[in-house]
Amino acid sequence: MNITKITYKMIAFCCTVWSVVVFSACVDDTYNEENTVPGQATLTLKTQTLRAGSSDETISSEEAMHSLRIVILSKSKNGYWTVEHNVNDSFNDGPGIRVSDEREFKVEGELTKRIYLIANEEQVKDLEGNKIDLKADDMYIPDHRTGIAPIDRVSFFPRQEDDLSQTGLPMTAMYEFEMGKTSEEKTCYVVRTVSKITFSYTNNTIQIPENPGPGDVIFAKKRKIKLLGWTLENIADQSYLMPYVNTDTEGKYHVVDTERQELLPLEGNWIDWMKKETEKNADTDIARYQWLTDYEVPERATHSVYTHWYSKETNAPDAPVIEPKADGVDETKHTYADAPVVYLPESRNPAWPAKDEEETDTTPSADELKLQQYRLTVITNELDLDENAPLNEKDPANWKAASYTAILPQLCSLFRNTHVKVNITFKGAGQFAIFAQIQPWGNAGKYSGELVPDITPPAGN
């Protein structure tokens, strides 16, 4: 009996492995012809739990599989496609906890197969928030001339206000392979359709020393800092459901090298490259990440400033406040590490700084490398702490508006499944630093870099 084995995993700490086993029919002494016919094959789907990522990392229900649509297509000898199976498997017992389940599909053997996987399709919605219907078989039939199916051009609008704990983030994958006469094994990965950004904040503001020395920041002030929100420039308002990654004339994918100096061709699928990126070790592979930059977003997508507020009420009474570090101050009041997770649409903001005109090297330009740039602004209200003349913190007039702006380091692409971890440290007045850990989603190590603001707030704010 000929066997094709396909295992579906979620990149990073998804909670399910999907094993798909294809048994091609052949006649031998043990084969039961009553169960099939010549030329027919059996596709068996098995599910089991998976634990990936760091061992102490908790899988949130937003990032787990709650349902999975499986669409299996077959390409005839004359180049036309048909849908053999289109099912949506719902995990009624909870996200990704089914340990032993199996389903068999009868398919036609020795033909080209295409499998679409769409997890958590309930969150695939249009601009008005209406669910996009993905049940129809016609959605998955590729054009026999271009190979593009309607599902490949479906775009959706990620919505932060939805309860993702009940439905999860959309995740997708598409694989195409030949069912030959010999046994083969394939491993495929389901990828989140969005990117993720998380923040932590530290208040390291200090008081002016009584006798300032030459190395002291003489205008520094110890302050309470109220976190109002942040903006990121520029983020798309919609994403393709299925990833659209471009290839060269030879059908190869490319990534930008660590130094952002050249394009490197990939020997296999871009998803296999992404899986390797997630496995890089923080101790040995810091700053060794490559970047996938040549991908498409919907033509009608609008890129604009994305804003996230921690409190929208007047004077922001519920916004988090972090105290300056001092003896006896609870560490939880000195830092804020529980900022809400934000999921961003896959975006392309080609705004990389131009090279120096005097530079004469032969490396590709930013346009050729398709490098991108994202500017972050943190918005605060701040209260000066003067031991000699303490201010009433309940009086809104005593809180001064401030903002800090910097380019996120190394973030030259916001391709799906990217996780941007941002640690912001407030220093003296007009000073701050961002330490950004930018990585594919999962146990991928980190990159650290420090920025200084390119816009300095007025002194005293």
Q: Residues 229-241, buried b or exposed e (16+ Cβ, 10 A)?
A: bbbbbbbbbbbbb
Return the pLDDT at 110.
85
- pLDDT of 443 > 50? The answer is no
- Write the pLDDT tens digit of every residue in 98-117: 433 456 677 788 889 898 98
More confidently predicted of 79 and 443: 79
Please choose, from the candidates 226, 192, 227, the residue with its C-alpha nearest in 3D space to the C-alpha of residue 340: 227
- Pick the most confident of 215-224, 329-338, 344-353: 344-353
Query: Widest CA span of the chain, in angstroms?
Result: 95
Return the pLDDT at 19.
38
- How confident is residue 124, by pLDDT bands cut at 50, 70 and 90? very high
Find all residues with CB under 8 Å of 130, minimum gap 6, and list them: none
Return the pLDDT at 1.
36
- pLDDT of 27 > 50? The answer is no
Q: What is the CA radius of gyration of the chain?
A: 26
Return the pLDDT at 74.
92
- How confident is residue 46, by pLDDT bands cut at 50, 70 and 90? very low
Return the pLDDT at 284.
55
Site of tokens 């997890």: 119
- Mean pLDDT computed over every residue of the chain: 74
* Residue 136: alpha-carbon gap to chain centroid: 28
Return the pLDDT at 139.
97
Please choose, from the candidates 407, 410, 404, 406, the residue with its C-alpha nearest in 3D space to the C-alpha of residue 448: 410
Measured CA to CA in angstroms, residue 127 lies from 9, 115, 130, 132, 159 at distances of 30, 27, 7, 10, 9
Report d(CA 287, CA 171) in Å as an integer: 27
Return the pLDDT at 169.
87
- pLDDT of 323 > 70? The answer is yes
Q: Residues 149-164, buried b or exposed e (16+ Cβ, 10 A)?
A: bebbebbbbbeeeeeb
Q: Which helix (H) or strand (E) holds 271?
A: helix 270-278
Report d(CA 258, CA 262) in Å as an integer: 9
Find all residues with CB under 8 Å of 61, minimum gap 6, and list them: 95, 164, 165, 166, 168
176-185, 385-394, 448-457, range with the lowest pLDDT:
448-457
- How confident is residue 246, by pLDDT bands cut at 50, 70 and 90? very high
Report d(CA 66, CA 48) in Å as an integer: 14
Report d(CA 461, CA 458) in Å as an integer: 6
- pLDDT of 254 > 60? The answer is yes
Q: Which two tokens stand for residue 153?
A: 């051009």
Please choose, from the candidates 151, 68, 78, 83, the residue with its C-alpha nearest in 3D space to the C-alpha of residue 114: 83
Residue pair 173/188 in contact by the 8 Å Cβ criterion: yes
44-53, 169-178, 207-216, 407-416, range with the lowest pLDDT:
44-53
Q: Residues 354-366, buried b or exposed e (16+ Cβ, 10 A)?
A: eeeeeeeeeeeeb
Report d(CA 365, CA 345) in Å as an integer: 26
Report d(CA 318, CA 309) in Å as an integer: 11
Q: How many CB atoms lie within 10 A of CB 420?
A: 22
Q: Prior bond to 86 cis, omega within 30?
A: no
- pLDDT of 278 > 80? The answer is no
Return the pLDDT at 165.
65
- Pick the most confident of 56-65, 295-304, 308-317, 391-400: 295-304
More confidently predicted of 370 and 110: 370
- How confident is residue 75, by pLDDT bands cut at 50, 70 and 90? very high
What is the pLDDT averaged over residues 425-435?
Answer: 67
**Percent of the chain topping pLDDT 70:** 65
- Write the pLDDT tens digit of every residue in 167-196: 788 989 898 888 766 555 566 678 889 998
What is the pLDDT averaged over residues 414-436?
Answer: 77
- How confident is residue 221, by pLDDT bands cut at 50, 70 and 90? confident
- pLDDT of 18 > 50? The answer is no
- pLDDT of 41 > 50? The answer is yes
Q: What are phi and psi of 241, to 5 degrees?
A: -70, -50
Report d(CA 451, CA 70) in Å as an integer: 45
Q: Which helix (H) or strand (E) holds 175?
A: strand 171-178
Report d(CA 8, CA 6) in Å as an integer: 7
Burial class (CB in 10 A: 0-12, 13-18, 19+), 23: buried
What is the pLDDT averaged over residues 70-93?
Answer: 86
Q: How many CB atoms lie within 10 A of CB 293?
A: 24
Walk me through the domains of the chain, giving residue ranges and CATH numbers.
Answer: 2-192 (2.60.40), 195-238+280-440 (2.60.40.2630)
